[in-house]
Structure 1
Amino acid sequence: MNQIKKQIHLLVEKLIQDQKSNGSWSFCFENGPITDSYMILLMITLAKRDSSVMKVLNRIIKMQSSDGSWKLYPDENPGNISATIEACLALLYCGKCAPDDPIMQKAKGFIMKHGGLQKANRLTKILLSLFGHQPWPSIPLLPIECLLLPTSNPYNLFNIVGYARVHLVPLMILAHQKLQIDLPHKNEVDQWLSGIPINVTEEEPLIHRKQIAHHFTHSQIKLEKLALQQGLDFMIKHTEIDGTLYSYTTSTFFMVFALHSLGYPFNHMYIQKAYNGLVTFLFPLDEGIYHLQETSSTVWDTSLLVYTLQQAGLPAEHPTIKKGIQYLLKRQQVKKGDWSIHNPYSQPGGWGFSDINTINPDIDDTSACLRALTPSTYRVQSIYSAWKRGVQWLLFMQNPDGGWPAFEKQTDPIWFRVSPKLRHVLADPSNSDLTGRTLEFLGNFTDQRGLSKPIEHACRWLFQHQQKDGSWYGRWGICYIYGTWAALTGLSAVGYDHTHPQVKKAVAWLSHIQNPDGGWGESCDSDRQQKFIPLGRSTTVQTAWALDALISVTTKPTKKIQAGIKYLLQRLSDPTIDDYPTGAGFAGQFYIRYHAYPFIWPLLTLSHYYQRYS
């Protein structure tokens, strides 16, 4: 116990020192090369040459694999064709590389070997059309008229989850307008693309125009004009104060080009503000190497750290905690967003993920902030009032099936379910990690621990969605370890212990997949294949999740737990060496290395171990 207590103290002291003057913590939200590539292409399009933005090129080059590919996660095999094409477009268009350079030829060889442009994802094909390297599809994925459908129509835009919706709107505008940008170095890019099999067959649209035509009486020209105006209004309404669209890099990138297709010059205030907003997402990694984050994770990291530090022993009156609480209170959302369309009777009160986020709250950030606030609610009335609003919002966001979504209630229409892939991209169904995390909060931090209707309904949903092997799938972390951790800690918080058959089954699964070194590790391949794929090595983050789950339902430390703790203590001599992405986002398009995670989760797990067994 002395070694555990010492490690807790070391981590706490470091995190206190890392806190910013405004009470937040700033860690990198690091993903693959896609956002770096997009930012370079946007910078070139706007005829800028920012030295800080240019430093993302060093990261792009550094990330190329020995087979010539770029990857979304280290063990992706083979590499990722879309990420490879996008990285090469960035390097060629900015003049950093020439078509005949060895790294370009190696990348080209990889693309040709693995199927050519046809194997790229939809966004990459849109990029190629946008920059004039292939024609736009003759039939769009979604006809522009879909923007005019009322919310009573099953095909309306608000049956699609918000993070997908803010990407689809500018993409629908671009596909309708068929914008093509002619940049310097286009000939070099065409030279590099020559010889790569294209054969791009047009994909079946999600909705055909004839499926919705009977809803309208206007002429086609009038409809298109109205729909384009609706799309423009939507983008402007959903732009944050920093100019970004919903505080996402990728949606902002496409918004810039959608605005231009509607007649806005590249020097227009909207476009310049969007670009400047994205510049604030730059994060320095190493000397001369920057990364353009998809967004910032400031609220998420800060809420987790304020809570974890209190679990580690800091009192609510400690200056670090008080500063963190004040930061979080300023980020509570006070106006209704799209979430209220399917949830009109709830008042605002949630929190979002990023520092600049005023209209897109989510379940996980809200419960994380509420955990952080709870110890302070007894001493400050205003904190209790904020906490109460957040709890009420959280309860109102429960789906009718008993589970919790990530962002928006009842955003899982039946027509998505014919395609699991489509549902994964566009819907926001109840999922195990959000349901488990919400249960853990309600059970441990509110008076809902008894089997109230919301809790009873949620437990039933969790038990129904347990995998046959005893695990649960987690959508926003990697993956079955993450989901099982969330489910077990949630069930434990509302009274289910190690004697329950389904809890025992989950414990047996976690014990079975433990590595010989005492740790746990899971590959991002699990998300792709929808089954548990071992990483082949352990990570501190996933080990902490597995241990925390076992500790929550185990009255005495087992040999399995002791071995995990031993591994964790050995690895914590340098938490930064844990560089494997353990977060997931945007339906398999992003795998995220949260730089805060190797500090947060081991500290929380060691604190829970100490509290339970000391």
Structure 2
Amino acid sequence: MWKLKVAEGGSPWLRSLNNHSGQELAEIEKVRQTFQENRFSQKHSSDLLMRIQFANENQDRVILPRVEVKDIEDISEDKVTATLRRALSFHSTLQANDGHWPGDHYGPLIFMPGLVITLSITGGLNAILSEEHKREICRYFYNHQNSDGGWGLHIEGPNTMVVTVLNYVSLRLLGEGANDGQGAMEKARQWILDHGGATSVSSWGKIWLSILGVFEWSGNNPVQPEIWMLPYILPTHPGRLWCHCRLINLPMSYLYGRRFVGPISSTVLALREEIFNVPYHEIDWNQARNLCAKEDLFHPRPLIQDILWGTLDKVVEPLLMHWPGSKLREKSLRTVMEHIHYEDENTQYICIGPINKVLNMLCCWVEDPNSEAYKLHLPRLYDYLWVAEDGMKMKSIMGYSFCGSRLQAFISTKLTQEYGPTLRKAHMFIKNSQVVDDCSGDLDLWYRHISKGGWTFSTGDQGWPVTDCTAEGIKVVTFKLYSFLLSKLSPELVGEPIDARRLYDAVNLLLSLQIIRNSGGGYGTYELTRSYSWMEILNPSEIFGDHSIDYPYVECTSAVIQALSTFKKLHPGHRGDEIDICIQKAALFIEKLQAQDGSWYGSWGICFTYGTWFGIKGLVAAGRSFATCSAIRKACAFLLSKQVASGGWGESYLSSQNKVYTNLEGEKSHIVNTGWAMLALIDAGQAERDATPLHHAAKLLINSQMDNGDFPQQSWVSSLGIVLSIAAYRNIFPIWALGEYKCRVLGGLK
């Protein structure tokens, strides 16, 4: 059995325990079986294992009767309040003792194979992953296999060669036989062979297979460590890449430069026979270097890349493999490892994300299998693992974000006095999660921006502040919403307010991150934009595009405007003039970014609904209004035009992929999209013009609530190439939207 344990320091990790009752075991087996039976129609897990555990730990909770609205005339403040109390009561039970809300944050199927391959190479597969871990990982792979045998980049996506090959390989390494899985392994293998075999896997797959010994390094385009020795003044220097991109390139270049290959086991030899259409020793690896299955070719390579990689492979690489060029190779490898160790040490071995986490860990083992660095990596693997009714997966982040959004949702309801302990714990957790120091050493040498004062997408330990996370942190710990402050509420209710100096640090960080040169005032994610968009023509990844530099986004820019405008009302004396200039430039950027139809493309949520919510909210925070700003008027018209017959909004992940607004199949509503649209329209004053669309949307949310106060899990809610499903959103945004609706629509109509 599995049980969520919150470790000292706030890190959730999962252990196998045997002290659960037989009744609970039967309940868990039932939800697993139900998911397996319905996996093709409902691909998303509902995070039920955690919910079952917390329900058993909170059996004394009083569940209020479910509310149902038959017509919008039936909506009353009492009914909305009852719905909110049911939702807040349930959501409070999901909070951990340290104040955060653990939960699923999943979707991409490309994360787990790296962990399995790395542990199989280092000999840690059986030591780190128990038989129960391996069984649940296999369950996850099988549950998300498409009916024709393959796997997509994400659990709703069509088959891709890279994920199908890597998942098949992972299952074999986990002990599954070539014909196991009740025919699933055979179907996967047949799909691979029918679509060209593993020689046509895209570049990331080639690298992982080469590391394992199921592909030759000569079949890869170069990922040379020497590029880290180039002068930083060059716009193509890897230190100028978006941090996620460069921190994946970094360990890959080390492994390529070392031509590292793991131990050749019997399983590796068998895989060489299973996933290629010709005998392994007859494969033309030079030809394979440029092969890519059409299923992986989301972003075709331009001709200039073929010329560049061919030159590096045929001319430059041979020089670096032999003296005196080999001297430069050795120096480059040492430099790269120094950067890897710097990333590890400054993130407490969590790393910025799951892909570079396992790559860095492998590099530390390759450098020295007995090193302290490798051993320090191992305990932090559990931070990324999560188990639900669909099996065990590797999350995209370590896992504690969204506390700020949850608090805003709670406070929007004006029911805070009833949930003091919940607010107090969350407030304390957010304060404790702030990054209080910059990274060590010379930041320029390590290509790092200042960090002090920021909030991360994870915990303070991880040390990578994000602009919108920092903005949400500022809003929550200063919180002036609807005429009252979170930090000015009774300290007995929410805890002591944060020290003003720590707020100043956060504001200083945000002011330092405004992108003037490339955008005129927008905000990216982690850092300033360091190079140019034409760098995308050198992006070697066929499956991910628009990732080479840190672009400015409407979401990040809007969040910063909201935070700075809130902060200035409370602390007008701290850099007030600079904040005013920053806000106005950021607002102009948002206006310029708006599409002709009135929408904004959302990169971090799906998609135009999400972006348009942020566009409106940012402009309102900057002092614009429906009456004075044509951009807000166009945005409202856009949102209203997308409301479906059920009263809600429902946007497909295909909007993100194709950059054209696409409804969910059958024009279904999605409670999270509906929440975003309601919040945007309420901020834009829709209730003062015609509240009918808001009443219809509120009816949908009220009637969507489940018997226990939870809301149902639906489809995707987050994007940027690797589509994500964030379990928390199904609770946060219906609560927040209904809270605003109760106080600003129904309350305003009185």
Q: What does residue 386 of structure 1 align with? A: 502
Moved more, 442-451 or 50-59: 442-451
Cα distance change on mapping 1:174 and 1:43 into 2, 3 Å: closer
Q: What does residue 239 of structure 1 align with? A: 344
CA distance in structure 1 between the partners assigned to 2:461 and 2:663 by the alignment: 35
CA distance in structure 1 between the partners assigned to 2:617 and 2:316 by the alignment: 45
Cα distance change on mapping 1:345 and 1:207 into 2, 3 Å: farther
Q: What does residue 30 of structure 1 align with? A: 106
CA distance in structure 1 between the partners assigned to 2:439 and 2:311 by the alignment: 29
1:216-255 equivalence runs, <5 A: 220-240=325-345, 244=349, 246-255=351-360
CA distance in structure 2 between the partners assigned to 1:418 and 1:249 by the alignment: 26
Which residue identity does 1:425 align to in structure 2? Answer: H
Cα distance change on mapping 1:563 and 1:484 into 2, 3 Å: same
1:68-467 equivalence runs, <5 A: 68-76=149-157, 78-99=158-179, 102-114=183-195, 116-117=197-198, 120-137=201-218, 140-181=221-262, 182-195=264-277, 200-202=288-290, 204=306, 205=308, 220-240=325-345, 244=349, 246-262=351-367, 264-265=368-369, 267-286=370-389, 289-298=391-400, 300-315=401-416, 318-337=420-439, 341=444, 348-355=452-459, 357-374=461-478, 375-378=485-488, 380=496, 382-400=498-516, 401-413=520-532, 415-416=534-535, 418=537, 424-447=546-569, 452-467=580-595
CA distance in structure 2 between the partners assigned to 1:142 and 1:176 by the alignment: 8
User: Once the two structures are superposed, what CA deviation does each residue of 1:15-40 show, in whole Å capped at 9, x if it has no partner?
Assistant: 22222111221112122332233333
Moved more, 327-336 or 162-171: 327-336
Cα drift, residue 526 of structure 1: 2.2
Moved more, 463-472 or 496-505: 496-505
Q: Helix, strand or coil for the counterpart of 1:290?
A: strand
CA distance in structure 2 between the partners assigned to 1:347 and 1:30 by the alignment: 26
CA distance in structure 2 between the partners assigned to 1:558 and 1:444 by the alignment: 27
Cα drift, residue 160 of structure 1: 0.8
User: Once the two structures are superposed, what CA deviation does each residue of 1:533-558 show, in whole Å capped at 9, x if it has no partner?
Assistant: 22222221111111111111024253
Which residue identity does 2:523 align to in structure 1? Answer: W
Cα drift, residue 138 of structure 1: 6.7
Q: Helix, strand or coil for the counterpart of 2:501?
A: helix
Q: What does residue 563 of structure 1 align with? A: 696
Cα drift, residue 10 of structure 1: 1.4
> Number of matched residues?
601
Which residue identity does 1:490 align to in structure 2? Answer: G
CA distance in structure 2 between the partners assigned to 1:91 and 1:81 by the alignment: 15
Equivalent residue for 1:17, pick from 93, 101, 104: 93
TM-score normalised over the length of structure 1? 0.89
Cα drift, residue 320 of structure 1: 2.3
CA distance in structure 2 between the partners assigned to 1:593 and 1:327 by the alignment: 23
Equivalent residue for 1:484, pick from 596, 612, 629: 612
- Structure having the higher Rg: 2
Q: Helix, strand or coil for the counterpart of 1:185?
A: helix
CA distance in structure 1 between the partners assigned to 2:656 and 2:501 by the alignment: 39
Cα drift, residue 402 of structure 1: 0.5
Which residue identity does 2:92 align to in structure 1? Answer: I
Q: What does residue 516 of structure 1 align with? A: 645
Unaligned runs of 5+ in 1: 213-217
Which residue identity does 1:194 align to in structure 2? Answer: F
Cα distance change on mapping 1:377 and 1:149 into 2, 3 Å: farther
CA distance in structure 2 between the partners assigned to 1:208 and 1:349 by the alignment: 45
Cα drift, residue 233 of structure 1: 0.8
Which residue identity does 2:422 align to in structure 1? Answer: T
TM-score normalised over the length of structure 2? 0.74
CA distance in structure 1 between the partners assigned to 2:384 and 2:114 by the alignment: 13
Which residue identity does 1:187 align to in structure 2? Answer: L
User: Once the two structures are superposed, what CA deviation does each residue of 1:528-581 show, in whole Å capped at 9, x if it has no partner?
Assistant: 223222222222111111111111102425322222111111222264532312
Cα drift, residue 183 of structure 1: 3.3
CA distance in structure 1 between the partners assigned to 2:139 and 2:372 by the alignment: 30
Equivalent residue for 2:714, pick from 575, 579, 589: 579
CA distance in structure 2 between the partners assigned to 1:347 and 1:417 by the alignment: 27
Matched, 1:604 2:736: yes
CA distance in structure 1 between the partners assigned to 2:447 and 2:116 by the alignment: 39
Which residue identity does 1:432 align to in structure 2? Answer: V
Matched, 1:548 2:679: yes
User: Once the two structures are superposed, what CA deviation does each residue of 1:284-322 show, in whole Å capped at 9, x if it has no partner?
Assistant: 212x83222232230x22222223222222549933222
Q: Helix, strand or coil for the counterpart of 1:457?
A: helix
Identical amino acids, percent of aligned pairs? 21
Whether the 8 Å contact between 2:599 and 2:612 is mirrored in structure 1 is yes
Whether the 8 Å contact between 2:235 and 2:531 is mirrored in structure 1 is no
Cα drift, residue 443 of structure 1: 3.5
Cα drift, residue 582 of structure 1: 1.0
Q: Helix, strand or coil for the counterpart of 2:522?
A: coil
CA distance in structure 2 between the partners assigned to 1:340 and 1:207 by the alignment: 34
Moved more, 418-427 or 480-489: 418-427
CA distance in structure 1 between the partners assigned to 2:83 and 2:265 by the alignment: 54
Which residue identity does 1:410 align to in structure 2? Answer: T
Cα drift, residue 86 of structure 1: 1.3
CA distance in structure 2 between the partners assigned to 1:69 and 1:445 by the alignment: 50
Whether the 8 Å contact between 1:486 and 1:549 is mirrored in structure 2 is yes
Q: What does residue 302 of structure 2 align with? A: none
CA distance in structure 1 between the partners assigned to 2:682 and 2:609 by the alignment: 14
Whether the 8 Å contact between 1:377 and 1:387 is mirrored in structure 2 is no
Q: Helix, strand or coil for the counterpart of 1:515?
A: coil
User: Once the two structures are superposed, what CA deviation does each residue of 1:362-418 show, in whole Å capped at 9, x if it has no partner?
Assistant: 011111111211134447564333223212211221111200001101234354155
CA distance in structure 1 between the partners assigned to 2:565 and 2:222 by the alignment: 44
CA distance in structure 2 between the partners assigned to 1:207 and 1:254 by the alignment: 25
User: Once the two structures are superposed, what CA deviation does each residue of 1:89-126 show, in whole Å capped at 9, x if it has no partner?
Assistant: 11112222315762122123333454544653321121
Cα distance change on mapping 1:160 and 1:247 into 2, 3 Å: closer
Which residue identity does 1:282 align to in structure 2? Answer: L
Cα drift, residue 524 of structure 1: 1.9
Whether the 8 Å contact between 1:99 and 1:191 is mirrored in structure 2 is no
Q: What does residue 58 of structure 1 align with? A: 139
Which residue identity does 2:116 align to in structure 1? Answer: I
CA distance in structure 2 between the partners assigned to 1:2 and 1:74 by the alignment: 40
Whether the 8 Å contact between 1:314 and 1:321 is mirrored in structure 2 is no
Moved more, 508-517 or 241-250: 241-250
CA distance in structure 1 between the partners assigned to 2:219 and 2:437 by the alignment: 40
Cα drift, residue 278 of structure 1: 0.8
Cα distance change on mapping 1:149 and 1:39 into 2, 3 Å: same
CA distance in structure 2 between the partners assigned to 1:361 and 1:175 by the alignment: 30
Cα drift, residue 173 of structure 1: 0.8
CA distance in structure 2 between the partners assigned to 1:254 and 1:496 by the alignment: 46
Q: What does residue 539 of structure 1 align with? A: 670
Whether the 8 Å contact between 1:142 and 1:208 is mirrored in structure 2 is no
CA distance in structure 1 between the partners assigned to 2:357 and 2:215 by the alignment: 23
Moved more, 148-157 or 480-489: 148-157
Cα drift, residue 350 of structure 1: 0.4
Cα distance change on mapping 1:118 and 1:554 into 2, 3 Å: farther
Q: What does residue 591 of structure 1 align with? A: 723
